[in-house]
Amino acid sequence: MRKKINKKMRITSIICGAMCLMTQLLIAQKMDAQKMADYQTEIMVEQLSLSEDQREQIATLNLRYSEKQAALMNREGSMFSKMGEMKDIRRDKNMELEAVLTESQMKKYEEEVAPMIRKELRKTGKF
């Protein structure tokens, strides 16, 4: 009888430990909108040679859209179910970027910078 109780206690302890670990991992994986926006802005400043005025506008824009993306990604549901909304967010952001960036900057952003940022975010998952 005592062995059965000890075995149940060990199993319960293992399950509780695993649940605590999984909870910590989930919390760590939540996106940080400010860090993501800062990273995007830093890359855009470097790669697109933004003016100071553009930098300020882009930083504000990146934060606004990073908050939308983070809220979406941190919400319950599968990645597949979120793809349409993510595409809408990206489209809306690009429309606003067109008002801030020059034509050549926008072209470089779409062809080089945005794919580089997305690749890094997927690779690291640090935001």
Structure tokens that stand for 113 in this block: 């910078």
Do 71 and 15 share a structural domain?
no
Query: Which domain does 5 fall in, by range?
Result: 1-30
Residue that wins the pLDDT comparison between 29 and 60: 60
pTM for the full predicted model: 0.70
Asked if 53 and 112 sit in the same domain, the reply is yes
Nearest to 62 by CA among 23, 83, 26, 32: 32
Looking at the structure, do residues 80 and 19 belong to the same domain, yes or no?
Answer: no
Mean pLDDT for the chain overall: 83
Domain co-membership, 24 together with 39 = no
pLDDT tops 50 at residue 25: no
* pLDDT number for residue 16: 47
Residues 81 and 44 in one domain: yes
pLDDT in tens, 75-104: 888 888 889 999 999 999 999 999 999 999
Contact 31, 73 (CB under 8 A): yes
Are 10 and 49 in the same domain?
Answer: no
The candidate with the shortest Cα–Cα distance to 97, out of 82, 84, 112, 114, is 114
Mark whether 107 and 75 lie in a shared domain.
yes
**Same domain, yes or no: 18 and 61:** no
Number of compact structural domains in the chain: 2
What pLDDT, on a 0 to 100 scale, did the predictor assign at position 62? 96
Mention every residue, 6+ apart, whose C-beta is less than 8 A from residue 49.
105
For residue 52, what pLDDT is reported? 97
- Residue percentage of the chain with pLDDT more than 70: 72
Q: Is 20 found in the same domain as 39?
A: no
Looking at the fold, whether 60 and 117 belong to one and the same domain comes out as yes
